[in-house]
């Protein structure tokens, strides 16, 4: 679902950056109002969680792969606006350091997964959960459905963006300049895998974490259930198990490369010239062969950014699994470190404001 550079026209990329910007702006303002040292670590936790979850590739029909997003549980715990920032941060780190999703397509990827995913997950969860108690099983079911609908809504957006490219952007002979397959192929190719395996993974993830939090830290579920009072569980609860869970997932990331194949629509430009790769592309695309030559726009823009650790494979590390683990540790660690620095900065700012206020009151 991570759209690479070259698959979307510059016009499409600019449009989706423009479409995402108001949501980022509102998200920053909404989160800033509630910004405190307790919220920032949560945003970094769920951003790192989403980053790690997306490293677990699943085999999908047609010989491709896919993954869960973690957007459902992020929206349920953080609310939609903080979730937008958390998932966008994870996508930014993936694009810049690992080439997982393009720099030119970052606006599209954030719009699909962070914005649409978060808003849909939050809306579905609030409607289905209703006014049920925080400990009610209804909330577990609502979380699973919210995650499932959210990941498929994001996939449908990506498939539509792929599928519109050959219709609007082609040369005089009708040859696509960017993503080569129309809606009739792009939507089924993307949606079959997400309606099944990837969607089920998101259900298990969202419902499972909510069920766990109902017993261990109900306070984390209160933001999307403000009308409910907490039970005997302390308001802050213990977040250490969540951090330990993130660490355990991180150690298991090498399992994420066991699935063979490339996610649909994420083939490199050179794959269009490789006979074996072309057969795989055709097999995953309802047996319709890709263009005989690399789409010119795709070839032009695919090299706009070279990530330092492309495909989560550090050049100096020979062992693929160990390299994958190191990249996961680097990405998650970078997000957590950013959260720590933001918490420290926020604490200093609050102290400065308090001193300034006390000095002003003393002067009066």
253-283 tens-digit pLDDT? 999 988 878 899 999 999 999 999 999 999 9
Q: Are 64 and 262 in contact (CB under 8 A)?
A: yes
pLDDT score of 233 more than 80: no
- Does the pTM surpass 0.75? The reply is yes
What is the rounded distance in angstroms from the CA atom of residue 240 to the CA atom of residue 76?
19
| Class of domain 10-336 as given by CATH | mainly alpha
Give pLDDT tens digits for 143-161: 999 999 999 999 999 999 9
Q: Are 269 and 299 in contact (CB under 8 A)?
A: yes
Residue 26: count other Cβ atoms within 10 Å of its Cβ: 13
In DSSP terms, 59 is beta-bridged to 65
Q: Are 77 and 221 in contact (CB under 8 A)?
A: yes
Report the sign of the C-alpha dihedral through residues 25, 31, 37, 38, in that order: negative
Give pLDDT tens digits for 4-59: 999 999 999 999 999 999 999 999 988 877 665 567 889 999 999 999 999 999 99
Q: Which backbone phi and psi does 303 adopt, to 5 degrees?
A: -100, 20
pLDDT score of 61 more than 90: no
Q: For residues 301-322, give the mean pLDDT.
A: 94
């Amino acid at each position: 679902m991570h759209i690479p550079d070259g698959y979307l026209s510059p016009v499409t990329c600019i449009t989706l950056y423009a479409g995402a910007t108001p949501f980022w702006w509102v998200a920053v303002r909404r989160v800033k109002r509630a910004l405190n040292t307790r919220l920032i670590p949560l945003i970094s936790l769920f951003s790192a969680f989403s980053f790690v979850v997306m490293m677990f590739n699943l085999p999908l029909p047609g010989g491709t792969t896919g993954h869960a997003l973690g957007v459902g549980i992020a929206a349920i715990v953080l609310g939609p606006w903080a979730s937008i920032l958390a998932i966008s941060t994870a996508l930014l780190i993936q694009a810049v350091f690992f080439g997982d999703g393009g720099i030119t397509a970052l606006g599209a990827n954030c719009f699909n997964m962070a914005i649409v995913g978060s808003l849909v997950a939050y809306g579905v969860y609030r409607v289905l959960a209703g006014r049920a108690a925080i400990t009610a099983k209804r909330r577990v079911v609502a979380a699973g459905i919210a995650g499932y609908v959210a990941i498929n809504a994001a996939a449908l957006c990506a498939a539509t963006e792929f599928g519109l490219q050959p219709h609007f952007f082609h040369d005089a002979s009708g040859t696509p300049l960017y993503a080569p397959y129309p809606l009739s192929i792009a939507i089924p190719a993307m949606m079959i895998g997400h309606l099944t395996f990837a969607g089920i993974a998101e259900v298990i993830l969202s419902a499972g974490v909510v069920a766990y939090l109902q017993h261990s830290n109900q306070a984390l579920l209160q933001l999307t259930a403000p009308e409910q009072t907490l039970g005997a569980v302390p308001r802050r609860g213990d977040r250490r198990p969540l951090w330990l869970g993130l660490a355990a997932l991180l150690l298991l990331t090498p399992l994420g490369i066991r699935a063979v194949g490339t996610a649909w629509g994420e083939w490199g430009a050179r794959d269009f010239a490789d006979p074996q790769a072309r057969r795989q592309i055709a097999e995953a695309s309802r047996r319709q062969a890709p263009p005989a030559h690399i789409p010119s726009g795709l070839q032009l823009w695919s090299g706009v950014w070279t990530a330092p650790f492309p495909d989560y494979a550090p050049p100096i590390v020979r062992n693929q699994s160990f390299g994958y683990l190191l990249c996961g540790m680097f990405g998650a660690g970078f997000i957590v470190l950013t959260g720590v620095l933001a918490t420290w900065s926020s604490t200093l700012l609050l102290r400065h404001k308090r001193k300034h206020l006390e000095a002003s009151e003393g002067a009066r």
